[in-house]
Amino acid sequence: NRGGRIGGEQQEISFALSQLTSLVRRATLRESDLAPKYEKVHNFKVHTFRGPHWCEYCANFMWGLIAQGVKCADCGLNVHKQCSKVVPNDCQPDLRHVKKVYSCDLTTLVKAHNTKRPMVVDMCIQEIEARGLQSEGLYRISGFSELIEDVKMAFDRDGEKADISSNAYEDINIITGALKLYFRELPIPLITYDAYPRFIETGKITDPDKRLESLHEALKLLPPAHCESLRYLMAHLKRVTEYEKDNLMSSENLGIVFGPTLMRAPELDAMTALNDIRYQRLVVETLITNEDVLF
C-alpha cells in the first residue's frame, strides 16, 4: 500500500514537471517571437550642461562651466567623459532622440522602435512580394528618383504609418528603389566595415563547400540586428529568383545589384574597391542561393 502511494506521488511529480517544462517551452517560444534584446553601444557626444548636473553612472557631480561631460545622442544618458569608457553597452534609444529612419544606425533604429528589423525593410519587402515578384527587371530597373525621395521622406516623417501602397506609388520600382536607398544610406553598411574583409576573402574562395563554410563563419561577425535583416532580405531575394522566368532576375543579377549596396569598402583606394566588386557580387549571390543553409 505504501509502495502504491509512493508510486502515485512520483507520477504526480513527473506530471507536474512535464507541465512545468511545457510551460517554460511555451514561454521561451513566445519570448523568441518578441523583439530580440540586441546590445547597443552608447552614442556619446561632448555636451555642455546648463545648471548643476550629476553623472548618471557614478552619481558624482559634473564640474566645470562648459563641456562638463558627454550625453548619448540616442538615449540621453549623461555621464563623465571618463565614465563613458566603462558604461555597459545597454543603450535604449528613445524615439525623442531618434528623429529619422533613413541614415540612422540600424541597431539604434530597431532598439528605438522595439522591432526585430527596420520597418522600412519589412514594409518594402511585403509590398514587393504582394505585387511585384513578376515585374521584369525587379531591382535592376530604377524608379523616378524624386518619388523614391518621397518614400524616404514618408518613412522619416511617419515611420510605420507611411503609405507605400499601389494607391500612393503604382510603380513597384519606386519601392525597390526606396529599399536599396535605405541600405545605401546606412552609416554602417548591412555587411559592416569590420566584417567586410572577411566577406571579401570568402568571395575569393573557389571551392563551393569551403566558401560556404567561410561565409558561415563570416556571418558570426555581424551584429545580431544586421544578421537578422540580412537573413530576411536574402530569403526575399531567393523568392525573387523563383520568378526568374517572369522578372529575368537570377541570383547572379541580384548579386550585381546588391553587392555594392550591402557591402562598402572601408576607405580602400579606388583600384582595390573596383577589384572588390566581383567578390561582392559572388558573396551576395552565394548568400541568396544558400540562404536556407546559412541562416
Domains of the chain by residue range = 38-97, 119-293
Give me the pLDDT at residue 25, please: 44
pLDDT of residue 126: 97
C-alpha cell at 267: 576607405
Q: What pLDDT is attached to residue 269?
A: 76
CA distances from 125 to 138, 215, 221, 251 (A): 12, 24, 25, 17
Profile the chain (295 residues) by mean pLDDT over runs of 10 residues.
Answer: 54 56 45 55 86 80 85 84 86 74 91 90 97 96 95 94 96 97 95 95 94 94 94 97 97 97 84 89 96 92
Q: What is the distance between the alpha carbons of residues 150 and 14, in angstroms, rounded to a whole number?
A: 61
Q: Which residue's entry shows cell 527587371?
A: 137
Residue 254 to residue 288: CA distance in whole angstroms: 9
Residue 191 CA, distance from chain mean position? 10
CB 134 within 8 A of CB 165: no
Q: What is the pLDDT of residue 132?
A: 96
Distance between CA 41 and CA 171 in Å, rounded? 39
User: pTM score, two decimals?
Assistant: 0.74
Describe the strand order of the beta sheet including 78-79 as a list of residue ranges.
44-47, 69-72, 78-79
pLDDT at 60: 80
Q: Which helix (H) or strand (E) holds 70?
A: strand 69-72
Q: What pLDDT was estimated at residue 113? A: 86
pLDDT of residue 270: 78
Which fold, 38-97? Answer: Wheat Germ Agglutinin (Isolectin 2); domain 1 (3.30.60)
Set of cell numbers at residue 145: 528618383
d(CA 195, CA 279): 14
CA 122 to chain centre: 11
**Cell triple for 63:** 564640474
DSSP state of 23: H
Give the CATH number of domain 119-293; options: 1.10.555.10, 3.30.465.10, 3.30.1330.50, 3.30.420.40. 1.10.555.10
Helix (H/G/I), strand (E/B), else coil: 79: strand
> 32: how many CB neighbours lie within 10 A of its CB?
8
